[in-house]
Structure 1
Amino acid sequence: MQYGFGYSHIAEDGKKEVIVLKHISEAEYEKHLKNLEFCRHYNHLKNIYSLVINNGKSFLKFSEVLSDNPKADEFDDDVGLEGNRLLINYLTSIGMFIDYGEKEMSKALGKDARNEFRKKTNELYDRHLSYRFLVLMRDYVVHYSFPLHTHVKSLIEPSGLFAQKSNLLRYKKWKHAKADIEKMPSKINLYPHVIEMQKYISELFNFCLLKLSSKLVDVIQYANDLIQAADRKNPIFISFENEEKYRAGQFSLHPVELESVYDAYQDLKNHPNIIFNDKNQKEELETILEFYYNDELIMNGPTSFFKEVISNPTNPNDTDITLSLGDRFTMDDFPNQGDSTRVRVIRMVTQNNFSKVKPTIIKYFLESYDNY
């Protein structure tokens, strides 16, 4: 198998075009795969972390609806089942995140990182009642019963779904959480425990991100180098059997997965304990706007240029030209000199850039002009 490197872009005729800049050796291609492989450990961890947080939000939102509507009849039939479903999803995803975290840290950084992760989870378990309560409740729902037992509807006392302390204590494997449960009220509200657990899961994710940060920065720099080598377009690799088939256009395309690299860059920038300094950082480049009609590029340029040619018909003093789906606006001197044309945005695509070398590009796809 032989390999090449280049980029893909939309040509002037509106079709996707692949430009191969150079052929590379198999060793160079394997090095590329290895460079981006590390980012997959982060990506797996981020996906399960997002699952946990979103499951928690779903349970919290459902609980808030019940609390705010204590007499709502529509919740009578299936409220218990739905509440248990949402909470069980949350509890099982917590277990998945802890298991995945240990495995991914071990694969990414080795045995010492796995042991540090275990130490961190042990600290959270020892220090925080809500953490150990919900971690052990995951075992309870897997091996014993549903966690929510009572639906209270009242205008006087708190309303919603509650766990019965007596039911929980029938389970014999609460370990250190048994003493915690015995001190709780007879009807246990899980809402505040989920609120606390969301914080601890985020703390655990940030712990992992800090450990991965050094190598993630290397991956980010490598991806940025690929973009520069690809003339600031979308870098791609190709593979082909021989020169004859390559010339005949018979090759496989392997795009570089930049989305997860960009996500890692954003997470590092937002980390509470990381100061992210870009050695090559320059003044932020102006966003580029591209306007398309029938998927054909009809106009592009920096935002400062379009402030001169686009006006808001409802507010002529509005100088912010950021658009959203469905926005209608007027383009002066378009499509011909002297024309003033009203159009509407029907689709938009944003190509963010994780370095300061390449500007963000916003693509606007416009409705047919004669609609207005």
Structure 2
Amino acid sequence: MPAKYACLATLHTNKQTGETEIRFFKELGEDNLEKWQKALNLLEELTASERLLQFVMHNEQQLIDELTHAAEMLTKKSDSWHGVTRANISEVYVIVNRCFLNYLSSVRTFIDHTDSYLNRKFGKQSEEFREFKGELSRQFDTCFAYRFFYKLRNFAQHVGLPISSVSFTTRADRVENCIKTSLTPTFNSLQLLKDYKEWGPAKFDLQKQPEEFPAIPLLFEMSSSVESIGRFVKVLIKKELYDAAFMINEETSELTEENFDVVLVDQFFENEDGSLARFSQRDIPLDLVCEILDSLKE
């Protein structure tokens, strides 16, 4: 049977043997355990949300990296005897659309996850959830990229690829005495409007765009909106988040050593002779605690 108590502990790994030693340093009562569990739940929820935000930024960077690599490849081919072929551009077109689809999907996942998390945490009728919905509405109303990409994801899921074309151009720079190249993925406003009828308010934005308009500036604008939403969510849970981080920091302040992990240990199971058989443990992210305390100080 598990014992009805829990402890804070540190894990120390012997570099020579690879064995890990656990050292218990503070016992927790039932009330204190519940407080700790709530605090760790909050940090884990924040971590999950921030990872999804990181996915968005990673997918943005991957698209930029692929474009950079493709531009270098096409530039080299443009200097060769055969030059840049249609097959080369077609390959880049597929890569760019793949990266863009990943980006759109990660944006939608982040927003939907955050919506669900705040709904579960505070309730649909709560002030916090209404404020979050208000922030989404603000982004939708003030940011063309947000309105457009919000609908573009549905277009890409049900109708066609988001990027209509990828253009590669070269020009002679007589000042610097070199050839400069440009690789530009674009949207086609006429095609988007023709193939999809559910653009909502973004329809009027698309009607104002030239037939071909560049994708990358809007990519950066959308990422800025997503990061703004992430910061807004942190503000919504600021007090609760700070209180949780402060409590954990205070409870572990006696630890001065480095290079060990701190864990919450509970569910102790004993052998028939009373010796310890096994237990469960939960990581305590002290690095995240310090980051929260630094970022949320008033």
Normalised TM-score (structure 1): 0.64
1:4 corresponds, among 6, 14, 31, to: 6
2:271–2:277 CA contact under 8 A, matched in 1: no
Residues 193-245 of structure 1, C-alpha deviation per residue, up to 9 Å, x if partnerless? 00111111111111111112211111212221332356766244142234756
1:35 corresponds, among 39, 42, 60, to: 39
Number of residue pairs matched by the alignment: 270
CA–CA separation in structure 1 for the residues paired with 2:226 and 2:216: 15
CA–CA separation in structure 2 for the residues paired with 1:4 and 1:61: 48
Residue aligning to 1:163: 187
The residue type paired with residue 177 of structure 1 is A
CA–CA separation in structure 1 for the residues paired with 2:289 and 2:207: 43
CA–CA separation in structure 1 for the residues paired with 2:231 and 2:289: 12
Residue aligning to 1:63: 67
Two-structure CA RMSD over aligned residues (Å)? 2.8
2:242–2:292 CA contact under 8 A, matched in 1: no
CA–CA separation in structure 2 for the residues paired with 1:96 and 1:7: 35
List structure 1 segments (4+ residues) > 6 angstroms apart after TM superposition: none
CA–CA separation in structure 2 for the residues paired with 1:139 and 1:145: 9
1:65 to partner: Cα distance: 4.4
1:59–1:83 CA contact under 8 A, matched in 2: yes
1:130 corresponds, among 145, 167, 171, to: 145
Distance 1:107 1:229, change over 3 A: farther
Instruction: Write the mapping of 1:111-260 to structure 2, written as runs, cut at 5 A.
Output: 111-155=126-170, 159-170=183-194, 171-228=196-253, 234-242=262-270, 244=272, 247-258=274-285
Distance 1:22 1:262, change over 3 A: closer
CA–CA separation in structure 1 for the residues paired with 2:119 and 2:290: 22
Residues 345-371 of structure 1, C-alpha deviation per residue, up to 9 Å, x if partnerless? xxxxxxxxxxxxxxxxxxxxxxxxxxx
Q: Larger helix proportion, structure 1 or 2? A: 2
1:238–1:251 CA contact under 8 A, matched in 2: no
Normalised TM-score (structure 2): 0.79
Counterpart of 2:105 in 1: which secondary structure? Answer: helix
The residue type paired with residue 224 of structure 1 is N
1:46 to partner: Cα distance: 0.5
Counterpart of 2:253 in 1: which secondary structure? Answer: helix
Residue aligning to 1:76: 89
1:97 to partner: Cα distance: 1.3
1:67–1:160 CA contact under 8 A, matched in 2: no
User: Please, which moves more after superposition, 11-20 or 44-53?
Assistant: 11-20
CA–CA separation in structure 2 for the residues paired with 1:42 and 1:132: 26
1:149–1:163 CA contact under 8 A, matched in 2: yes
CA–CA separation in structure 1 for the residues paired with 2:41 and 2:282: 14
Counterpart of 1:221 in 2: which secondary structure? Answer: helix
- The answer to whether residue 112 in structure 2 is matched with residue 99 in structure 1 is yes
**Identity over the aligned pairs, expressed in percent?**
19
CA–CA separation in structure 2 for the residues paired with 1:8 and 1:25: 21
Gaps of 5+ in 1: 278-372
1:81 to partner: Cα distance: 1.3
Counterpart of 1:172 in 2: which secondary structure? Answer: coil
1:174 to partner: Cα distance: 0.7
Distance 1:27 1:49, change over 3 A: same
Gaps of 5+ in 2: 78-83, 172-180
